[in-house]
Structure 1
Amino acid sequence: MNNPLKHKGYIGSIEASLDDNCLFGKILFIKALVSYEGETVEELDAAFREAVDDYINTCQALGQTPEKPCKGSFNVRVGHDLHLAAALAASRKKVTLNELTRQALNEFLLHHCAEPAPALG
């Protein structure tokens, strides 16, 4: 996804339907299904922003905390050998396995993705 929609920390997809001649998308990385559509990119962006605001307002009206995209932790299954090698490497560097993983992800994002990785911290 080269240019996702962004608003208040939420990210939205951009899809096209040739059959319906419209653009559509959904808020990414949350469990709730929140979708939007428009005929132009400008309309789609406005609909996305409205959908995010409506999602936040609806959650608050229901006394719920709106889910944030990507809570900051995830589980990765890497297999025994890679896990052991990473744990040994972290130990040698005198960092935690989490810190080693953060550093590795950051390095990958810096060198292989169009957008720079956010600052570590």
Structure 2
Amino acid sequence: MSANFLDQVNFDSNGLVAAIAQDAGTGRILMMAWMNREALAATVESGEAVYFSRSRKQLWHKGESSGNTQKVKEIRLDCDGDMICLQIEQVGGIACHTGRESCLYRVLENGQWRTTDAVIKDPSEMYS
């Protein structure tokens, strides 16, 4: 496979591009993470989401610890080339390290963040 597609991505000065994971079935945004060239290439190669962990400074295969992997159905690049959207199937139904379906589980109401999504699985059961 030609790596030419990687040259069309506008990685930032740190070599990263924002990547949104969206449930292919429901359209719900599940999370946002970062990818570098190697992570995007690994995602394409494996068919599962691979991100770049800024805190650990290494590739992170989503679900490597929790088992909640993301099977990639489609990859889209925005008009400026600086944002990726992954259409995924969330294996296990949990994308967030807090044990929820989505990392976007809080809504702003009257100047306060209100939690809207219940924990599906206690994180201590996923990460040991």
Which bracket does the TM-score occupy, shorter chain normalised?
under 0.3
- Based on CA coordinates, which of the two structures has the bigger radius of gyration? 1
Larger proportion of helix = 1
TM-score between both structures, scaled by the size of structure 2: 0.27
